[in-house]
Structures are given as C-alpha cells and as structure tokens.
Amino acid sequence: MNLFRTGILMALLTGIFLAVGYLIGGGAGMAMAFLFAAGTNLFAYWNSDKMVLSMYGARQVDETSAPELVHIVRRLAEADGLPMPRVFIAENDQPNAFATGRNPENAAVCATTGLLNRLNSEELAGVLAHELSHVKNRDTLTMTIVATIGGAVGMLANFAFFMGGRRNNPLGMVGAVLVAILAPLAAMLVQMAISRAREFEADRSGALLSGRPLWLASALQRIESAAGQIENPDAEANPATAHMFIINPLHGGGISSLFASHPSTEERIARLQAMAGEMGQAPKPGPWS
C-alpha cells in the first residue's frame, strides 16, 4: 500500500511539473529546465553518499574500531540478504542515524556518537534494521527521482516569475508570482508526503527484520526525547538532508521547518506497538542474543 501511495504521489509531483510547464507555454524552455535539474540531481545521485558523509564529518569504522556497531550491521545485512554496507560514525551528540548510497551495492550506514552513547544494543539493532530497510527498499533512488522533479518545478517556477513582465506572457505578472510561490510549495508538500510514506514502510520492514518492533519503538522514543533538546549544527546548516535521518534533526521554525518531512513519532510508535501485539510479543522483549 505504501509503495502504491508513493507511486501516486510521484505521479502527482510529475503532474505539477507538467502543469507549470503548460502555464508557461514554452515547451523548449520546460525541456531545458528539466534537463538541467536532471543533470544536477544525477550528479548528486552518483555522489550523494560522499557529499552527505562529508557534510557530517563521518569517519568509516570496522570491526576493530567499532566492533559492536559493525557486528550488528553485518548480522542484519546477512539476515536480509544485503551486501555488507560501509559503516560510519559521525561525531555528533544528538542521537540519530541515516543511510545513503544509490543502491544496496553502494550503501553506507551512519550513526552518531550520541546514538551509540544513549541506546542499548537492542534499540541500536532496531534503528539499524530501519536504515537497512531504506537501503533494501531503494528509498535513496526514490527520493533522488523526487528531488529531480521537485528541482525542475522550482526552476520552472522561477522561469515563470522572470517572464512575468513580458508582454506575450500568458500568465501575467500576478499569475507568474502565484506560480513562483505555489508550485514549489505544492511540490514540497508532495515530497514531504512521499518521505513520510517511506519512513512508515522502513519502520515496518525494519521491525520485521529485527523481529522485535518494540526495540525500534523504544529507540524512537529515546531519540525523539534527546533530539528535541540537543541541537545538530550540521543538519541545521544543511536542512535539505533532514529527511535522511530516522528522526527529524532540526530545531525551531524558519526555513528549517519546511524540511520537517518526518511523520509523527507518536504515530510511528503506536504502529510498532500494534505490530508487536499482532506478533504476540510482550511489552518488554528479551535480549537480542
């Protein structure tokens, strides 16, 4: 159902792009804007893992430097039939984690030092199972396509604005201003909806992978509580990467709030608790051996 919903939302986002192009009336200009946005995002797709990991100053670790973390990732990856991803740690006191990479063969999983210091091994396994589910579900590819179309919408909206004062422009100045404001806003809302859908799906498939939905539920509650009090300066400086994290790393309002694409943590926890009930699991599951 989430996959179907994602497809519908992506079709809607494409429709917004085509509608803006139609209103502008320039097929050639629309094609050029799309090609430019596609090229930019294609570059980001091939280099997104390096770019994001560099933004957060993440360092790669192995069995020697971070044995518990790497062991958990390896065990989960093997259980899910995934290639072993590269494992990174970011020096950041806010507990959080994200996955990146264009496909399972080129994936990386990153945990912050705050996450490693505050979660027990079961909760950490729940979080890492969630991130590996993003890798398996190819959510990075999905969000790259979404970013490509969203970027094209923004470029066309700007094009409409700058053409607003021209005599032969069918929109007129008022129409151009409305398109410049409303089209990117509509595209952003659709992008947020797609991101929320993918988070719910990663919660579900990650909980199935670990076999213990309550591990992830407990981790989400602990991360949400701490993340609300501890700032993430790197995320604040790069708000467009916020959707990658398991919990929204941003604080406050302003431009940062526009990228708050995560679903309600309370709803996520409620769904995981319901899953645990359906699986007949006790409120406090036993240790992960």
Could you list the active site residues?
A: 131
Give, in order, the Cα–Cα distances in Å from 129 to each of 231, 240, 286.
25, 23, 17
| Both structure tokens of 50 | 């390096």
For 92-115, the three-class secondary structure string (H helix, E strand, C coil) is CCCCCEEEECCCHHHCEEEEEHHH
Residues 6+ apart with CB under 8 A from 200: 2, 263, 268, 271
Distances (CA, A) of 9 to 163, 164, 184: 29, 29, 15
The Cα 113–Cα 111 span in angstroms is 7
* CB 160, CB 177: distance < 8 Å: no
Order across the sheet with 108-112: list the strands: 59-61, 86-90, 108-112, 97-100
Q: Is the dihedral of CA 62, 66, 67, 70 positive or negative?
A: negative
Q: From its phi and psi, is residue 213 left (phi > 0), alpha (psi between -120 and 50) or beta?
A: alpha
In angstroms and rounded to an integer, the radius of gyration of the C-alpha atoms of the chain is 20
